[in-house]
Structure 1
Amino acid sequence: MDLLSLRYFRTVARHEHISRAAAELGVAQPSVSRTIIRLERELGVPLFDRQGRRIRLNRHGAAFLRRVERALAELDDARRELADAAGADQGGSVAVAAETLLPLAGLLSCFQNRHPGVTVRLHQSPIEEMRRQLRAREVDFCIASQPLTGPTVRSVELLREEVWLVVPLGHRLAGRERVRVAELAGEPVVSTRPGHWQRALLERLFAEAGLAPVITCEGDEPAATPDLISAGLGIGLLPDMSRRHPRHGAVAWVRLDAADCRRTLTLVWHRDAYLSAAARHFRDLAIEQLPLMAAPA
């Protein structure tokens, strides 16, 4: 059993698809297949269930994957720590996952001005993908708008802000200061797909009012929501940060009479992961700057 076999296995386990794993690894598909078969023979158990050309990680594979991710993460941490100690990684890199990337533009601009030698890699990920990325040490940090807790993570709250109801100009609720969720029954709603914080908050608020939202438009980029609302496709929820830094017209902002209609933005990292000097600089700047960027000018 060698490190290359373990890295191949981890990639195949993530995709549950040999061809996609081979494409990511940049190697021929037969090489990946042979490596997995050899690994299974060495371990004495199948790691995948095979149905024709489809493969699925089985219970042996899932148990092995947890150990492999931990082992490879420790080795990657050791490499980064030694590079830091030797001064060979004076630039370095930082990997960050977030549900939406647009609000990070100001933070990233500030960070790269202060640390021009550091490479920043960004991932747009829903909350469950963030959990996996942290566990596999694929990212140094997650910037999460939903709870991302557990015994293996550390976190710090960056900001807490009100979430508003946004409606097109000319909508029957556009002139109101406050509305109840019950008044939104039957309204078409623009939202994100399940897994994003706006969708989770929307469904919770409606469920508490005994309603189900009528989703007429859903996507993976929350920053598109105000333009879609302005176009008359429906109403939606947006955080105070968007209201304070408007980039869109033709919408009205209305307060919702609902308990805990807020977003909490949290910086999360793996408790046992080694944080390079570059990663520590990013963490310190995020804690310093993100609350300021959300504040009114």
Structure 2
Amino acid sequence: MELDQLRYFLQVARRGNFTRAAEDLNISQPALSRSIQRLEEELGQPVFERKTRSVSLTDAGTLLQGRAQQVLSILEDTKAEITDDGESGRVRVGAIPTIAPYFLPEVLGRFSAAHPRATIIVQENTTDLLLKACTQGEIDLAIVALPIQAKYLELEELFEEELLLVLPLDHPLADKPKIRLCDVEPFPFVLLDEAHCLSDTIVSFCRQRSFQPVAVERTSQLTMVQELVSLSHGVSMIPEMARCRDQSDRRVYRSLCRPKPTRTIAVAWNPYRFQSRLLKAFRTHLHRDAARRNAPPPTPIIPKKPITS
């Protein structure tokens, strides 16, 4: 049994399809099929149940999947530990879509400047898939929003950020001095798909205050939420980091009166995997960046007026 066979097998299991797995692995489909066939011949039974356009794991395949992941994880950790110099190597970072494009670019830029020999690989996905990838060792850490259920992962909070109410320019609340949640109740909401935890955070905040937001439209991208709000399809709540990146003058952002809606950003990793010095340095870097965000703004220095006699 060869290591490549195990890697090929795991990729087919992930994709549920030989064609897509072959594309991911950059090999031909016949070569992939032959590799899996030789694996099944060695085991004496099939690992996949073939269907018209997909495959699913047999009982033997399910057992092999767990063992193959363990074998490859041990080998990867062993290689990483032997070659660990604290400067070179790779860090595989996962982040949810409402964090990745707004938080990671500056973080990765500063880290790459301090560790030019390091390779950073970024994966953007929903919370559940990132936590699964982190547990299985497919990524080294995941940057997510709390709360989450992570049975075998370590969690550290990074920072808390406000969720801002976003309104079209001509909205009746746009010029209101103070906006309370009850003021928003009559208006429809534009939210992300249910797969995104931000929608759960918004709905949970409203429900705790006896208000059920009515979502008239859902989309998969935060930028589309912002555009639909600009077109007066509804209102929404947007993380402060996304608002800071928004250069459009077609919508306005307002803070709600206390208690303000917020979300807590955290980093998760698998403590049972080898923690390289480079990975630890990246986690330290994340905390430094978080501390920078949590620091209060500097007090402006007001020059004293000269004393005249």
2:280 alignment partner in structure 1: 280
2:305 alignment partner in structure 1: none
Residue 255 (structure 1) aligned with residue 252 (structure 2): no
Does the aligned pair in 1 maintain the 2:165–2:254 contact within 8 Å? Answer: yes
Deviation larger for 237-246 or 263-272: 237-246
How far, CA to CA, are the matches of 1:45 and 1:200 in structure 2? 44
Normalising to structure 1: TM-score of the pair? 0.86
SS in 2 for 1:95: strand
| Counterpart among 68, 91, 96 of residue 88 in structure 2 | 91
Distance 1:59 1:245, change over 3 A: same
Q: CA deviation at 1:73?
A: 1.1
In the alignment, residue 92 of structure 1 is paired with which amino acid?
A: G
Deviation larger for 178-187 or 154-163: 178-187
Q: CA deviation at 1:39?
A: 2.2
Where do 1:1-297 residues align within 5 Å? Answer: 1-84=1-84, 87=85, 90-100=87-97, 101-102=100-101, 103-176=103-176, 177-180=178-181, 183-185=184-186, 187=188, 189-205=189-205, 209=210, 211=212, 213-220=214-221, 222-223=222-223, 225-243=225-243, 247-249=247-249, 250-255=251-256, 261-293=261-293, 297=297
How far, CA to CA, are the matches of 2:165 and 2:59 in structure 1? 44
How far, CA to CA, are the matches of 1:63 and 1:185 in structure 2? 53
SS in 1 for 2:82: helix
In the alignment, residue 121 of structure 1 is paired with which amino acid?
A: I
Distance 1:257 1:60, change over 3 A: farther
Deviation larger for 42-51 or 72-81: 42-51
SS in 1 for 2:198: helix
In the alignment, residue 90 of structure 2 is paired with which amino acid?
A: S
Does the aligned pair in 1 maintain the 2:180–2:257 contact within 8 Å? Answer: yes
SS in 2 for 1:178: coil
In the alignment, residue 92 of structure 2 is paired with which amino acid?
A: A
Does the aligned pair in 2 maintain the 1:141–1:269 contact within 8 Å? Answer: yes
Q: CA deviation at 1:91?
A: 2.2
Deviation larger for 269-278 or 2-11: 269-278
Does the aligned pair in 2 maintain the 1:148–1:268 contact within 8 Å? Answer: no
In the alignment, residue 40 of structure 2 is paired with which amino acid?
A: E
Does the aligned pair in 2 maintain the 1:99–1:124 contact within 8 Å? Answer: yes
> Cα deviation per residue 1:8-45 (whole Å; 9 max; x = unaligned)?
11100010010111111111111211222332333344
Q: State how many pairs are aligned.
A: 291
How far, CA to CA, are the matches of 2:268 and 2:252 in structure 1? 33
Q: CA deviation at 1:238?
A: 1.4
How far, CA to CA, are the matches of 1:291 and 1:231 in structure 2? 37
2:304 alignment partner in structure 1: none
Structure 1 gap segments, 5+ residues each: none
Deviation larger for 116-125 or 207-216: 207-216
SS in 1 for 2:180: strand
Q: CA deviation at 1:135?
A: 2.4
Distance 1:63 1:247, change over 3 A: farther
Does the aligned pair in 2 maintain the 1:22–1:32 contact within 8 Å? Answer: yes
In the alignment, residue 253 of structure 2 is paired with which amino acid?
A: A
Q: Which has the larger radius of gyration?
A: 2
How far, CA to CA, are the matches of 1:131 and 1:198 in structure 2? 16
Q: CA deviation at 1:261?
A: 3.1
SS in 2 for 1:289: helix
Deviation larger for 147-156 or 7-16: 147-156
Does the aligned pair in 1 maintain the 2:206–2:212 contact within 8 Å? Answer: yes
In the alignment, residue 178 of structure 1 is paired with which amino acid?
A: I
Does the aligned pair in 2 maintain the 1:160–1:263 contact within 8 Å? Answer: yes
State the identity %: 27
> Cα deviation per residue 1:86-143 (whole Å; 9 max; x = unaligned)?
x5x8422211111132221221121112112211111111112102221232211110
SS in 1 for 2:256: strand
In the alignment, residue 96 of structure 1 is paired with which amino acid?
A: V
In the alignment, residue 30 of structure 1 is paired with which amino acid?
A: P
